[in-house]
Amino acid sequence: MSAKKIVLIVLVILVLVGVVAGTIAYSHSNVTPVATGKAVREDLLATVSGTGQIKPKTYVNVGATSFGRITHLYVKEGDHVKAGTVLATVENVQPEATVAAQQATIAASKTDITSYIAAEKTAVANVDEAKADLEQKTLDFGRSKQLYNDKLIAKQDFDAKKAAYDMAVATLAQRQAAVAQAQAQTDSARGHSDQAVAAQRANYDALDKTVSRAPFDGLVTNIPVREGETVVLGIQNSEGSTLMTLADMSNITAEVKVDETDIVNVALGQPADVTVDALPGKIFKGHVTEVGDQALLRTTGVATSQSTTGTEEAKDFKVVVTLDQTSDELRPGLSCTAKIVTANKPNTLTIPIQSLVQRDLAAEQALFTSHGKAPATTTSTVKPTLTQGVYLLVKDSDKLRVKFIPVTTGITGATDIEVLTGLKADDEIVTGHYKVLRSLKSGTAVKRDNTAEPITTDSSS
């Protein structure tokens, strides 16, 4: 074979390769690279997050209950105390003196009672004596009366016996009155003694108020006073001195604020995971025990019902999560985040959230039929009704195309969303990239490109 023919054959082959390459390049020039994913079944959790701080469910400000100078503070901030533990004492000279004086009064009143009881017994003995004498005088008067009637004694003797009898009757009555008087004096002394004892209880109460004790087991979180300072009692419209703040750490809560758009999904009893900024890596389990009904302004924290401004701004709602278990590491005021599980769907059909788009369903159907080319239609001024859906990958002849499929969704997780209708498991859909999804149309020829989307930076920065 001559060299001329060989060159001619090579040229023909090169031309054929160029034609084939050009055809392939042309066929791929209108193919859009897309990121894809599949509808899969998995356990889906819907969560709501809120930030706030750790708070004890119960805490009290232990206030001054007596006026005076603080003589001793027995605890310091951070101490754990038991119920009844003495926390502080205030000077008690006057209350102690009052108690001592009243104790002497009670002792004197008891002595008076003893004296009156003795006088009462003496009066009773005198009554018994008067009764015996009256009995004797009665017998004498009876005999003298009989003798006088028989004319055996003189009228003078009879009158003497009668006078003695009348004297005995009067003496008995007098002595019986003395017994009543002695009993009355004894009862009066007992009344005065009871009154003194009751007054002493008040004195003991005043003395006891110079000693502050822990009302429950707790943690001392704040002591704003020092030994030697003078504390005062609270009066109407004026608070008294606060000795310290005591928190019951046996029942700890996380008080967080949840955005107004999420609060409708939060309900009592929902489980939550609480993380504390100061304790990285630790998760505390809890459950929702309170959902606030009052919206709070995000900038000030003031309830909207109490705000005097008419400006519109973002609002939050208070949610209280009670921790299932306590920890000595937790302190009131620590910043925390609560992730509340508002819904849990096991083995449900899910897709990535970013795959959802909104399109005009009728227009998308027409585009798919025309392979992505907009059909010649008259311009309409009617605003289209947008439908939520995804782009499904379908095989069309030798090409892979996308088709808009309407879907209905359920709960939303962190990255995925539940699909109720429109798809089935393992359906392949377009998940990105964002720029592609923004302009993608049904009928467009695509190819899979699941490489990571490049991160763009602003060159001007």
Tell me the helix, strand and coil percentages in the chain, rounded to 5: 35, 35, 30
pLDDT digits (tens, 9 = 90+) for 115-125: 999 998 999 99
Percent above pLDDT 90 for the chain? 64
pLDDT at 238: 72
User: Rounded to whole angstroms, how far apart are CA atoms 450 and 428?
Assistant: 13
Q: Please, are residues 313 and 299 in contact by the beta-carbon 8 Å criterion?
A: yes
Lowest average pLDDT, out of 7-11, 45-49, 114-118, 157-161, goes to 7-11
pTM of the predicted structure, to 2 decimals: 0.64
Q: Domain limits of the chain?
A: 31-43+348-448, 94-208, 251-344
Higher pLDDT, 298 or 337: 337
pLDDT digits (tens, 9 = 90+) for 278-335: 999 999 999 999 999 989 988 887 887 776 665 678 899 999 999 999 888 898 999 9
Lowest average pLDDT, out of 19-33, 361-375, 388-402, goes to 19-33
Q: Give the HSE-up count for residue 373: Cα atoms under 13 Å, Cβ half-sphere.
A: 5
Residue 237 has pLDDT above 80, yes or no: no
Residue 70 has pLDDT above 90, yes or no: yes
pLDDT band, very low/low/confident/very high, at 459 (cuts 50, 70, 90): very low
CATH class of 251-344: mainly beta
pLDDT digits (tens, 9 = 90+) for 122-135: 999 999 999 999 99
Task: Tell me the two tokens of residue 197.
Answer: 């004892």
Same fold across 94-208 and 251-344: no
pLDDT band, very low/low/confident/very high, at 371 (cuts 50, 70, 90): confident
DSSP 49-97: EEEEEEEEEEEEEEE--S-EEEEEE---TT-EE-TT-EEEEE--HHHHH
pLDDT at 12: 66
pLDDT digits (tens, 9 = 90+) for 262-277: 999 999 999 999 999 9
pLDDT at 381: 65
In CATH terms, 31-43+348-448 corresponds, of 1.10.645.10, 2.40.420.20, 1.10.10.10, 1.10.3720.10, to 2.40.420.20
Record: fold of 94-208: Helix Hairpins (1.10.287)
pLDDT at 20: 53
Q: Tokens 């000595």 appear where?
A: 328
pLDDT at 19: 54
User: Rounded to whole angstroms, how far apart are CA atoms 428 and 36?
Assistant: 7
pLDDT digits (tens, 9 = 90+) for 154-207: 889 888 988 999 999 999 999 999 999 999 999 999 999 999 999 999 999 999
Specify the 3-state DSSP secondary structure of 367.
helix
Task: Tell me the two tokens of residue 389.
Answer: 């859906």
Residue 18, class by beta-carbon neighbours within 10 Å (0-12 exposed, 13-18 middle, 19+ buried)? exposed
- What integer best gives the mean pLDDT of the chain? 88
pLDDT digits (tens, 9 = 90+) for 214-228: 999 999 989 999 999
Higher pLDDT, 334 or 30: 334
Sign of CA dihedral 211, 215, 216, 219: negative
pLDDT band, very low/low/confident/very high, at 26 (cuts 50, 70, 90): very low
pLDDT at 43: 94
Q: Please, are residues 133 and 170 in contact by the beta-carbon 8 Å criterion?
A: no
pLDDT band, very low/low/confident/very high, at 25 (cuts 50, 70, 90): very low
